[in-house]
């Protein structure tokens, strides 16, 4: 997930009173810089939770689509383990949305269908293609969570810890998929490139709708 660029202000500017501490602004379309200890706006945190909830829901549906095709294959046990972890992530975000009074994305019905379809379609291409799908999705999610962790800083320590824990789980999924031969899937660069593009679009839409 990309964030607006921070405004760079020297300590000298702040100390001289040229810019007030913690209130750096830049004009239309630019973000203020938040100092350690500052809390992010509730709207920004809500957008993070909304998109993460959507992402974990989509991941759950991808694995359900793959399991519908490959549940009895040699990859079945691996897929079930990753699916169980995504369910745990989703349950955590279900709880956070209620606690923070954040509405889920209005696109949930779309991701319900699209996630399952992507999982089933890649599984039909073979076990390695299914694993290539996991690599592509998890690499995008790794970058997404990493950006959120950096953006939160010290403003939301518990939330930051949750995001980082889940990011490590997603990296484990990526490494597992690579160990299962994902990179040997036919058309691996094209397949993963297309899935990454679709994943980034889903993130962008879920933050806003």
Nearest residue to 207 via CA among 144, 115, 160: 144
CA distance 181 to 160: 32
In this structure, the dihedral spanned by the alpha carbons of residues 161, 164, 169 and 175, taken in order and rounded to 10 degrees, is -160
Residue 36 phi, psi (nearest 5): -55, 130
pLDDT at residue number 27: 41
CA distance 199 to 140: 7
Helix 157-179 crosses helix 42-70 at what angle (to 10 degrees)?
Answer: 30
Q: Which residue has the tokens 């974990």?
A: 56
Residues in the chain: 209
CA distance 126 to 133: 11
pLDDT at residue number 132: 97
Task: Write the CA distances from 175 to 117, 131, 134, integer angstroms.
Answer: 23, 10, 9
Q: Which tokens belong to 3?
A: 């964030």
pLDDT at residue number 154: 83
Report residue 60 CA to chain centroid gap. Answer: 13
What is the pTM assigned to this prediction? 0.77
pLDDT at residue number 40: 63
DSSP codes, 79-136: HHHHHHHHHHHHHHHHHHHHHHT-PPPTTHHHHHHHHHHHHHHHHHT-HHHHHHHHHH
pLDDT at residue number 166: 94
Contact, 207 vs 44, CB < 8 A?
Answer: no
Distance between start and end Cα atoms, the chain: 15
pLDDT at residue number 38: 53
Across the chain, which has 209 residues, the per-10-residue mean pLDDT values are: 39 40 41 50 85 94 96 94 95 95 94 96 96 96 93 87 94 95 95 95 91
Q: Which tokens belong to 71?
A: 């549940």
Task: Write the CA distances from 126 to 38, 180, 186, 191, integer angstroms.
Answer: 49, 12, 9, 13
Domains of the chain (ranges, CATH numbers)? 1-33 (no CATH), 42-208 (1.20.1260)
């Amino acid at each position: 997930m990309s964030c607006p660029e921070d405004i760079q202000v020297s300590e000298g500017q702040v100390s001289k009173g040229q810019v007030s501490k913690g209130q750096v602004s830049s004009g239309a379309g630019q973000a203020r810089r938040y100092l350690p200890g500052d809390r992010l706006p509730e709207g920004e945190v809500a957008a993070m939770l909304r998109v993460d909830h959507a992402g974990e829901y989509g991941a759950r549906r991808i694995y359900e689509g793959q399991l519908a095709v490959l549940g009895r294959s040699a990859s079945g046990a691996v897929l079930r383990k990753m699916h169980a972890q995504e369910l745990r992530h989703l349950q955590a975000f279900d709880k956070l949305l209620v606690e923070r009074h954040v509405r889920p994305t209005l696109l949930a019905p779309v991701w319900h269908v699209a996630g399952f379809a992507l999982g089933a379609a890649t599984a039909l291409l073979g076990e390695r293609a299914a694993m290539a799908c996991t690599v592509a999705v998890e690499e995008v999610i790794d970058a997404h969570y990493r950006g959120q962790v950096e953006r939160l800083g010290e403003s939301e320590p518990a939330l930051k810890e949750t995001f980082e824990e889940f990011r490590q789980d997603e990296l484990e999924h990526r490494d597992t998929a690579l160990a299962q031969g994902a990179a040997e899937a036919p058309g691996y660069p094209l397949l993963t490139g297309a899935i990454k593009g679709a994943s980034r679009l889903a993130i962008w839409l879920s933050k806003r709708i």
